[in-house]
Structure 1
Amino acid sequence: MKERQREKQRTTVSIYGQQYTVAGYDSPEYMKEVAAEIDAKMRELRKVNPYLDTTRLAVLTAVNVMDDLKKLEEYIRYLEQQRLTGDEKNA
């Protein structure tokens, strides 16, 4: 896990051809990495849905990213439960 900065830093990122200034405690490199992943996801979805406007594409991207997050959270809970019950062999 990346070490967080003590003060918010601003950095400019590019997502789907648009420049955004984002602020956060993470390093500018990390924020650019996150933006690049969002950009890649939007471009991937655009290939499958070429007629979506940018707003709908962004919402669809957000839904997909949240779906991924929820599935990871569920898997983490499963692994934690396995660890607590001592059933790591079946994990």
Structure 2
Amino acid sequence: MTGNHANHPDKRRTTVTIYGDQYTVISDESRTHVNDVSDHVDAKMREMKRVNPYLDTRRLAVLTAINIADEYLKLEKQHGTIPEEED
């Protein structure tokens, strides 16, 4: 998914709303998939805001990205896509 449609004329444009802001997502994925992804990000941001109500939007977005990346890496490790790390 990307934000630059000029370089990808064959891709779909989907407008999504995340945490009250609209974004145009350009992707070869289905609109349903793009909406599912944006809904997941929106839900995670709102969940993070409930736990940390004083975060500004920038910090909220970064912490949400860290949490989603953490979930993703844990799933990758569970499925053996990336090796487990040792402490």
Q: TM-score, normalised by structure 2?
A: 0.80
Q: Which runs of 4+ in 1 moved over 4 A?
A: none
- Tell me the percent identity: 54
Question: Which of 23, 28, 31 lines up with 2:31 in the alignment?
Answer: 28
CA distance in 1, matches of 2:53, 2:59: 11
The amino acid across from 1:29 in the alignment is T
Count of aligned residue pairs for this structure pair: 72
Matches within 5 A, 1:20-59: 20-59=23-62
The 3-state SS of whatever aligns with 2:79 is helix
CA RMSD, Structure 1 to Structure 2 (Å): 1.1
Q: Post-superposition shift, 1:29?
A: 1.4
Match of 1:15 among 15, 18, 22: 18
Partner of 1:50, secondary structure, is: coil
Gaps of 5+ in 2: 1-9, 82-87
CA distances 1:10-63 after superposition (whole Å, capped 9, x unpaired) = 110000000000000101111011100100000000000000000000000000
* Structure number with bigger Rg: 1
- Structure 1, unmatched stretches of 5+, are 1-6, 79-91
- Kindly provide the amino acid, as one letter, of the partner of residue 63 in structure 1: I
* TM-score (norm: length of structure 1): 0.76
Distance 2:23 2:78 in 1: 32
